[in-house]
Amino acid sequence: MYLALYRKWRPKRFADLISQPHITATLQNEVRQNRIAHAYLFTGSRGTGKTSMSHIFAKAINCLHPIDGEPCLSCEICHGLEDGSILDVIEIDAASNSGVDNIRDLREAANFMPSRCRYRVYIIDEAHMLSTGAENALLKIMEEPPAHVVFILATTEVHKISPTIRSRCQRFDFHRIRTEDMVARLLMIAREEGLSLTGDAAQLLARIADGGMRDALSLLDQCASFSQMIDLKTVSTAAGIAGRDDLFAVSEAIAAKKPEAALKIIQELHDRSRDLERFCEELLDHYRNLMLMKTLDHPEDMVICLPDELDRLDALAERCPLSEILYCMTVLQDTLASLRRTAGKRVAMELCMIRLCTPSLSEDPTAILSRLDALEAAVRAGGAVQEAEPIREEPVVTQEMPEPEPEEPPQQEPKTQQEPKIEAKPVFEKMIDWPEVLNRIRQKNPLLYALLSDSVAYVKEDTLLIDSPNHMLGQMLRQQGHSGTIQQALAEQTGRKYRLVLRGNKTEPKESALLRSILQQAQAAGVPTELPDAGTPTEER
């Protein structure tokens, strides 16, 4: 029967474990000095050697002839533990044995002496899956363990294990396998298995595995089934990273702000029965690569892609500001979470594409920063900055009293027929505590408060006139909800409901002055950005 590579090449000695010298050295010293603790806690990400280390340590403390802290692998104890004929080392899967009854059975069996070994070792894998009752039952025997019992708990989520359990264990944190160690191990295994594995292919396997040796060996096994000659093309096909043109097409449509092109690609993927949730994950990884290309001087070691894709990623990263990349990653993460909860995956992805292609629809700080970057680029290029059309004002109409003619004296009218009075409509006056209203707005919407900070308000009957020199305020108030925020703050302050009218400055500012105003408002709203000196071009980020 064929044995998978990750099982066939499972480490048998401490020396076979890679990238964990801080753990192997400590455990070997404990075996040499016979300082064996009663409980150990191994934690770390998947494929880093936790279970393998548990079995090696169980052999080492029971070996009849240990060599410098290593199991000899030749005595009857080592052979018996290897082939399963000795039952003094028990491995328990806590995911399927998480109940309190399972741990009670363990406690009863632990009181018996081991049959042939020095220690009875209990390896509890996925220990974070134990129920609360099971942990309490295990805690009792860990407080007063028999001298012949050793517990080894292995977990990927140590924070889920109760502090009372953790405090009674020697804790060892396993690191992710280093890329260079994994490459050397893969090349050695391929050579022993008679496979032709190129160095570039081994490097790509190590990057895809992301620190998990088991994942790398499983993928190598899959590549070996495809071809004995394993190169970059074989790895890319087996790993599913071939045919990434759709990812580049979508990201280029987003960069060009063409929602129709992005929606067309989603339609084609849907027609081909492509898993849109998986595509969203791949697109998120794609933007992670763009982020690394944008921020690192030498991103080749961290970017997971084929070598010939680096140039395409670099060219695309040059076109996209970092703020836009971060905004896209935020939207994709939200979409990925919603895709896992909804059945309408196509609609969710179409909404995602529209949001990515039109960041002006979003009030997220990353979207605002993306629009600021686009404005900076327009100013640097010398282009005209299109200002949003302000809210249309309602003219204030006042009716004046007619002047009497001096030549003719006013005629007396009968008291029954009174001439209607022509009264002037009251003009706008400052009749409310506008700073206090602004304070209330600041608690509800800091960005709206920043745009209103230089404004003055006047009241006439049930109308509130906002006089502001800010050209962005009109566009802000046209968006849903912002006018309601002002009216709610007014109602809380005055107890009345007002109709809002906006009067803004009609002069056209220069592009640099407008840019400075927008950036200052963004800073006041808490959006991180750099404010350049007036009249000086901003530097490329």
3-state secondary structure 77-142: HHHHHHHCCCCCEEEEECCCCCCHHHHHHHHHHHCCCCCCCCCEEEEEECHHHCCHHHHHHHHHHH
Q: What is the DSSP letter of 458?
A: E
Which of 173, 195, 224 represents a domain boundary (last residue)? 173
Helix (H, G, I), strand (E, B) or coil at 31: helix
147-175 as b/e: b if 16+ CB within 10 A: ebbbbbbbbbebeebeeebeebbeebebe
Give domain status of residue 459, yes or no. yes
Whether 276 and 198 share a structural domain:
no
Give domain status of residue 395, yes or no. no
Give domain status of residue 370, yes or no. no
Whether 256 and 213 share a structural domain:
no
CATH of the domain at 440: 3.30.300.180
Give the model's pLDDT for residue 373.
64
Give the model's pLDDT for residue 78.
95
Give the model's pLDDT for residue 344.
87
Whether 271 and 351 share a structural domain:
yes
Whether 18 and 40 share a structural domain:
yes
Whether 188 and 115 share a structural domain:
no
Q: Cα separation of 531 and 242, whole Å?
A: 43
User: Across 461-527, where does the E strand assignment appear?
Assistant: 463-468, 499-504
Instruction: For the sheet with 499-504, list strands across it.
Output: 456-460, 463-468, 499-504
CATH of the domain at 76: 3.40.50.300
Q: Cα separation of 317 and 295, whole Å?
A: 10
Give the model's pLDDT for residue 404.
44
CATH of the domain at 346: 1.20.272.10
The domain in which residue 16 lies consists of: 5-173
Q: Could you read off the pLDDT of 290-334 as tens digits, one per residue?
A: 999 999 988 887 888 777 788 889 999 998 888 889 999 999 999
Q: What is the DSSP letter of 460?
A: E
Give domain status of residue 126, yes or no. yes
Give domain status of residue 441, yes or no. yes
Whether 76 and 22 share a structural domain:
yes
Which of 173, 197, 214 represents a domain boundary (last residue)? 173
Which of 126, 153, 173 represents a domain boundary (last residue)? 173
Give domain status of residue 539, yes or no. no
Radius of gyration of the chain (CA): 36
Q: For residues 339 and 345, is the Cβ–Cβ distance under 8 A?
A: yes
Positions of the chain with pLDDT under 70 = 241-243, 361-431, 479-480, 504-541
Give domain status of residue 451, yes or no. yes
Residue carrying structure tokens 């996925």: 126
Give domain status of residue 514, yes or no. no
Whether 126 and 189 share a structural domain:
no
- Cα atoms found within 13 Å of the Cα of residue 472, Cβ hemisphere only: 23
Whether 30 and 168 share a structural domain:
yes
Question: Cα–chain-centroid distance for residue 176?
Answer: 20
Give the model's pLDDT for residue 422.
40
Q: How many domains does the chain contain in total?
A: 4
Give the model's pLDDT for residue 393.
41
For the beta carbon of residue 530, count every other beta carbon within 10 angstroms. Answer: 10
Distances (CA, A) of 13 to 46, 67, 181: 19, 11, 17
Checking 522-528 for CB contacts under 8 A at 24+ apart, the result is: 522/368, 522/369, 522/372, 522/450, 524/446, 524/449, 524/450, 524/453, 525/365, 525/368, 525/446, 525/447, 525/449, 525/450, 526/365, 526/446, 527/365, 527/368, 527/369, 527/372, 528/369
φ, ψ dihedrals at 255, nearest 5° = -65, -35
CATH of the domain at 212: 1.10.8.60
Q: Cα separation of 518 and 371, whole Å?
A: 10
Does the model's pTM come out above 0.75? no
Whether 192 and 136 share a structural domain:
no
Give the model's pLDDT for residue 378.
61
Q: Cα separation of 244 and 237, whole Å?
A: 11
Whether 251 and 222 share a structural domain:
no
Whether 157 and 24 share a structural domain:
yes
Whether 122 and 83 share a structural domain:
yes
Q: β-strand 463-468 against 456-460: which pairing, if any?
A: antiparallel
